[in-house]
Amino acid sequence: MKRSILYLTLLVMVLGAAGCGSTKQDHEVRSFNDLSAVPAFTCQDLNGNEVNNDIFQDNKLTLINIWATT
């Protein structure tokens, strides 16, 4: 019993150490100039009304907080 707990503990430690490995990941770097326009989209709000990107036309800066519900 003690031996199986020891093996299980060692396995968890090895898998945990392997999961924390440091590998370089290439990420695409984009400037703010590339992000100046909102792509066209259409969705529904919580009341079932259709919403599209026209609601952002009159604003210079818009912060969007997206939540998903099921």
- For residue 46, the enclosing domain spans 1-56
Question: Does a structural domain hold residue 69?
Answer: no
Check: CB of residue 51 under 8 Å from CB of residue 44: yes
Can you tell me which residue has the tokens 């968890």? 12
Which pTM does this prediction carry? 0.35
Instruction: Find, among 12, 15, 70, the residue nearest to 4 by Cα.
Output: 12
Question: Does a structural domain hold residue 61?
Answer: no
As beta bridge partners, residue 46 has none
Number of structural domains found in the chain: 1
pLDDT in tens, 2-58: 888 999 999 998 888 877 766 666 777 766 666 666 678 898 888 999 988 888 888
Q: Is 35 helix (H, G, I), strand (E, B) or coil?
A: helix
Longest alpha-carbon distance in the chain: 69
pLDDT of 48 = 92
